[in-house]
Amino acid sequence: MPSSKSEVLQGTLDLLVLKTLDSMGPMHGFGIASRIQQVSEGLLQLNQGTLYPALLRLEQRGWIASKWSVSENNRKAKYYSLTRAGRKQLEEEAESWGRMSAMINRVLRTS
Amino acid sequence: MREFFHTLLRRLTAPFRRGRLEADLDEELRSHLEMAAEMNKRKGMSAEDARHEALRSFGGVEQTKELYRDQRGLPIIETTFQDLRFGLRMLRRTPGFSILAILCLTLGIGANTAVFSWVEGILFRPYPAVTHQERLLALAGTARGEAATGLSWPDFADLQRNCTLLDSFFVSKIMGTTLSIGDRAERTIGSIVSANYFDAIGVHPILGRGFEPGEDSGRNAHPVTVISYQLWHRRFKGDPQIIGKTQRLNGVLHTIVGVAPEGFYGTFVGWAMQFWVPTSMEEVFEAGGYKLDDRGARWIEAYVRLKPGVTAEQAQKEISSVAKRLEADYPATNRGRGIKLWPLWQTPFNNAGTLLPTLEIMLAMVVFVLLIACANVGNLLLVRSITRRREMTVRLAIGAGRGRLVKQLFTEGLILSALGAIGGIVVAHWCRHALVLLFPARAGVAMHLPGEIDWRVLALNAIVCLLATLLLGLVPAMHTSKIDLASALKADSAAVVGSRERAWARSGLVLVQVSLCFVLLVGAGLLMQSLQKIRASSPGFSTHGVLFTTIDLVSAGYDAERARDFQDELLYRVKALPGVESAAFARMTPLSYGSFSSTPIVVDGYQPPPEEQPIVQYNEVGPDYLATMGIALLSGREFTRADDESAALVAVVNETMVAQYWLGRNPIGQRVQVKGRWMQVVGVARDSKYESVRETPKPFFYVPRRQNFTIGAGLFIRTPLRAETVATALAREVHALDVNLAPYEMITLQEQVDRSTSPQLVAVTLVGVLGALALLLAVIGLYGVMSYAVSQSTRELGLRMALGAGASNLLRLVISRGLALMAGGALLGAAVALGLTGLLGNLLYNVSPHDPLAFGAAFAVMTIAALAACFLPAWRATRTDPARALRD
């Protein structure tokens, strides 16, 4: 396994899902998984199955909502969409993520 | 925070939507895999490869589902549901065991809940209709630091004026009266209250009004009354126009100004009040004349309500300082007098005080009963844990955590005790009026001693239930955590006689049961003996063949002269009745609720030690009183008709008075000064009981009624006839003299003694019931252990038979084992009882707490019970087929 591929941290996965739904609009689970892998250009190693407990967790917290619908090729699928609370959460997390990575960068550069 | 509750709510409700959620999950994952496969196919894979690749990049489908389920619900709740379902299934599969266990627990927990509800309804919250009972305290006087007395109205008024820490002071003094409607006269009870009474307790009449300020003062100025809901319904048929109508109470017309709400029985633990009158009317109901201006007349029973946040100690301090000031300002009446607050459960002037010791003992006893019941059920569970050993072993072997198994066992215990607790509440509900049944009925007075099942009692019930669960789960759980997997799976352990250690545990439980039961039996025995001694002890007067009644002339408005004539004439007529041997009037009836007159005395030739002022009680009696009562005259004579107003003043003294003040010398012809008047002693009477059967002999004397006249008096009739017969004849004679009069209930003096000892009877009955309950439970426990031991040792028994032991040998073997267990428990119990029976305190009368008879009787009862419990198992042992026992 190439060392450049990294495991997804739980909190990170939440953030990725929220961001994906924010930029792409309502999507089904498979769509979200594909999109995350596509955007990360295959660098993220994601067991697609782990996405589902994460989706459930986000939904329980009220950050995303789900409803059954029909996909582009006429398949029944569960579509997830960002709620207002979810959007707020995304902003907060993105901001804290930014601060965090800036700090880590600074630490790495100075030492 | 909102997120947290959002999540919690969803997870909590998940188990109830399980079916639909599972289907959703399946559908979603299938659709994901199909879409992935489709995409792979579009990339050029074969159908087969596309599906495999989709599954591979998904990761484990089942694992995902498990993770998903854990996230969806709350695992701890789901396993609890599983345990509950499983536990219920186990209980249904062994209905005999379940019913027995639940029954034992129902009795155990029910006894606790019933006693809690009595304690709550009688001691802690006796007046459910009254607001803020928790701030209510009883108020009574003390003399030289002890002994509760009443308060005088002027003292009460000064308290009310000078205390700032109290919301309200109110008077509520019980009194009996004659209620007459038309030509019917009936006895009933009510309260004399201060005008603020209804406002102070927050009870609002449903019709009319309470009393108005000012209605409590002014001599006989406000003949108004509020009647009880029951009286309104019973006597006035719920008349909606009742307000403004009049009612004769003690012969005085009172205007009905209000009707109290349903469920309000006044503020006197034990009896249901039927009406209330303001203190201004005190003279009509209380003997002894007008007392509102008399600081020395202590007749008031009162309550206070603390201001919110004020403690009883602070209030007491303030009240004591006022009392100190009163002592200084009015030394003639108040020297040595204090005023004290009491918590409601220690109220000195109602039945709370008399029932307190009994209920305290009961509280201790029901804990014992609960422990015995738990030991029983623990034993049953232990037996079952042996039969379930394989189940537990297999579950352990296939990977169940021991913690999970223990949780399962506790859940089963919880189911049992929860069902027992529900049963217990039902039992307590049935028993809530049981206490009243134990008191002898008396005419005109409705007893009211309800159990109260409120949230506090329910909470205690739940705590007891959890406690029982812990006790129940503990035993089998200890065993489960000790299962040794390897050996348990290797041997078919069911064939091996239950391990030694387990047999010890079971015997230990029975030992505890027997010893607890023994303690209760000893307690019951001691109380029973006391009651017997009390009832058998001679009160010093005849209890049979003497009848007693009163005709209330005070209420009927007689003055002294008319009363004297009436009583003379009636006595003449009564003595002429066939079957009447003698009859006499006396002011006070022995062993009754009222109090005797008392007086400082001076005895010729007796020099009291300094600091001592002899005060002696006395009774004002008519001619032939001693003969009628059967009180023996030791020397001299008793009063005759000649001892009247114009004759020399005379007195008859009792033995103890002679011993104390004449130091045994013959007092006849000597003088004694009573209330400033010298009287000559003309006779010596034998000691008898005056206020209580349990009192020790005390100085007492009699004076002629004629020379010390009061209108109120009881009529005593010596006759071999039945009370009913004499009552009818008497009623006829009374009616002939005055159509407006009716005698009260007629009872024998034995009845009077029984009534005065009813608290003991109640204690004995309750303790006896609990003792019997404990015995029953212990017998069940012993039986269970013995029959199990026999069923487990068929091999040993068979061997013994094969070696020539006869049926009687085996019988003896099993029974002696059972008796050994019993004897061990009894010894242990005796040791505990020796330490505990002292707590019975003054419920015991002339019986040592270590009375050998009570211990012996308890031992005998336990032995008989043990024999009964062992007989069936022993008999079964003799039926062992040696051939089969050895082959199997």
Map A44-104 to HEC letters.
Answer: EECCHHHHHHHHHHHHHCCCEEEEEEECCCCCEEEEEEECHHHHHHHHHHHHHHHHHHHHH
Distance of CA B749 to CAs B574, B629, B688, Å? Answer: 18, 9, 13
pLDDT number for residue A5: 47
pLDDT number for residue B576: 93
Q: Which of B39, B57, B72 sits opposite A56 (nearest CB)?
A: B72
A50/B59 Cβ within 8 A: yes
Q: Which of A86-95, B236-245, B437-446, B730-739 has the lowest mean pLDDT?
A: B437-446
Q: Same structural domain for residues B490 and B529? A: no
Residue B623 in domain = yes
Band of the pLDDT at B702, cuts 50, 70, 90?
Answer: very high
Q: Sort out which chain A residues have CB atoms less than 8 A from B2's CB and list them.
A: 62
Q: Are strands B270-271 and B207-208 parallel, antiparallel or unpaired?
A: unpaired
Average pLDDT, chain B: 84
Q: Which residue has the tokens 């008319």?
A: B562
Distance CA B488, CA B485 (A): 5
Distance CA B615, CA B571 (A): 32
pLDDT number for residue B322: 92
Q: Which residue has the tokens 């400082």?
A: B600
B35/A28 Cβ within 8 A: yes
- Mean pLDDT value of segment B155-173: 89
| Cα nearest neighbour of A70 on chain B | B31
Does residue B498 carry a pLDDT above 60? Answer: no
Q: Collect the ranges in chain A with pLDDT lower than 50.
A: 1-5
Q: Same structural domain for residues B326 and B369? A: no
Band of the pLDDT at B859, cuts 50, 70, 90?
Answer: very high
Q: Which residues pair with B600 in a beta bridge?
A: B615
Residue with the bigger pLDDT between B83 and B565: it is: B565
Read off the DSSP letter of residue B123: I
pLDDT number for residue A3: 39
ipTM over the 0.90 cut-off: no
Does residue B678 carry a pLDDT above 80? Answer: yes
pLDDT number for residue B40: 87
Q: Same structural domain for residues B758 and B731? A: no
How do residues B207-226 score in pLDDT, each as one tens digit?
A: 999 999 989 888 888 999 99
Percent of chain B with pLDDT over 70: 92
Residue B33 in domain = yes
Does residue B785 carry a pLDDT above 50? Answer: yes
B24/A78 Cβ within 8 A: yes
Q: Which residue, of B57, B73, B89, is where some domain finishes?
A: B73
How do residues B453-492 score in pLDDT, each as one tens digit?
A: 888 888 988 888 888 888 777 766 776 666 666 666 555 4
Band of the pLDDT at B37, cuts 50, 70, 90?
Answer: confident
Q: Same structural domain for residues B252 and B279? A: yes
pLDDT number for residue B384: 76
pLDDT number for residue B863: 92
Residues B738 and B570 sit within 8 Å (Cβ to Cβ): no
**Most B CBs within 10 Å: which of A35, A48, A55, A64, as the mutation test of the B interface?**
A48
Does residue B819 carry a pLDDT above 80? Answer: yes
Q: Same structural domain for residues B413 and B552? A: no
Does residue B261 carry a pLDDT above 60? Answer: yes
Q: Select the highest-mean-pLDDT range: B5-19, B93-107, B873-887.
A: B93-107
Return phi, psi of residue B543, to 5°: -100, -20
Q: Same structural domain for residues B724 and B761? A: no
Q: Same structural domain for residues B719 and B822? A: no
Residue B552 in domain = yes
pLDDT number for residue A4: 43
pLDDT number for residue B443: 63
Q: Sort out which chain A residues have CB atoms less than 8 A from B60's CB and list them.
A: 49
Q: Which residue, of B690, B725, B749, is where some domain finishes?
A: B749
Q: Same structural domain for residues B553 and B529? A: no
> What residue numbers bound the domain in which B653 lies?
546-749
Q: Which residue, of B73, B92, B114, is where some domain finishes?
A: B73
Distance CA B113, CA B417 (A): 13
Residue with the bigger pLDDT between B587 and B443: it is: B587
B2/A50 Cβ within 8 A: no
How do residues B364-375 score in pLDDT, each as one tens digit?
A: 889 889 888 888
Does residue B394 carry a pLDDT above 70? Answer: yes
pLDDT number for residue B656: 92
Residue-range domain boundaries for chain A? 6-110
Residue B138 in domain = no
Count contacts between A and B (CB, < 8 Å).
72
Query: Which of these, B535, B531, B534, B516, lies nearest to B771 by C-alpha position?
Result: B516
Distance CA B656, CA B457 (A): 50
Residue B297 in domain = yes
Q: Which of A33, A49, A62 sits opposite B64 (nearest CB)?
A: A49
Residue B457 in domain = yes
Distance CA A79, CA A69 (A): 6
A52/B38 Cβ within 8 A: no
Residue B340 in domain = no
pLDDT number for residue B628: 94
CATH architecture for the domain at A6-110: Orthogonal Bundle (1.10)
* Residues counted in chain B: 888
Q: Which of B6, B25, B34 sits opposite A60 (nearest CB)?
A: B6
Q: Sort out which chain A residues have CB atoms less than 8 A from B11's CB and list them.
A: 60
Does residue B497 carry a pLDDT above 60? Answer: no
B716 contacts: CB under 8 Å, gap ≥ 6: B546, B547, B548, B583, B584, B585, B586, B625, B628, B629
Return phi, psi of residue B295, to 5°: -70, -20
A60/B7 Cβ within 8 A: yes
A48/B57 Cβ within 8 A: yes
Does residue B494 carry a pLDDT above 70? Answer: no
Q: Same structural domain for residues B186 and B324? A: yes
Distance of CA B240 to CAs B121, B229, B249, B262, Å? Answer: 31, 12, 21, 15
pLDDT number for residue B495: 38
When divided into structural domains, chain B yields a total of 5
Residue B341 in domain = no
B27/A48 Cβ within 8 A: no
- Mean pLDDT value of segment B315-333: 90
A47/B59 Cβ within 8 A: yes
B6/A61 Cβ within 8 A: yes
Q: Which of A53, A61, A75 sits opposite B31 (nearest CB)?
A: A75
B564 contacts: CB under 8 Å, gap ≥ 6: B709
**Most B CBs within 10 Å: which of A28, A46, A52, A84, as the mutation test of the B interface?**
A52
Min distance B396 CA to chain A CA atoms (Å): 30
Q: Same structural domain for residues B308 and B379? A: no
pLDDT number for residue B814: 84
A52/B28 Cβ within 8 A: yes
A52/B64 Cβ within 8 A: yes
A76/B35 Cβ within 8 A: no
How do residues B707-718 score in pLDDT, each as one tens digit?
A: 988 887 899 999
pLDDT number for residue B694: 79
pLDDT number for residue B888: 63
Which residues of B have a CB under 8 Å from any CB of A?
Answer: 2-3, 6-7, 10-11, 24-25, 27-29, 31-32, 34-36, 38-39, 57-61, 63-64, 67-68, 70-72
| Cα nearest neighbour of B21 on chain A | A56
* pTM score: 0.73
| Cα nearest neighbour of B56 on chain A | A47
Residue with the bigger pLDDT between B417 and B741: it is: B417
pLDDT number for residue B538: 84
Q: Same structural domain for residues B370 and B400? A: yes
Q: Same structural domain for residues B381 and B458? A: yes
Which amino acid makes up residue A45?
Q
pLDDT number for residue B338: 87
Q: Sort out which chain A residues have CB atoms less than 8 A from B29's CB and list them.
A: 49, 52
B31/A47 Cβ within 8 A: no
Alpha helices in B179-311 (DSSP H): 197-201, 229-236, 282-285
Band of the pLDDT at B168, cuts 50, 70, 90?
Answer: confident
Q: Sort out which chain B residues have CB atoms less than 8 A from A47's CB and list them.
A: 57-59
pLDDT number for residue A2: 38
Q: Which of B6, B25, B67 sits opposite A62 (nearest CB)?
A: B6
Distance CA B206, CA B714 (A): 38
Distance CA B585, CA B685 (A): 17
| Cα nearest neighbour of A89 on chain B | B3
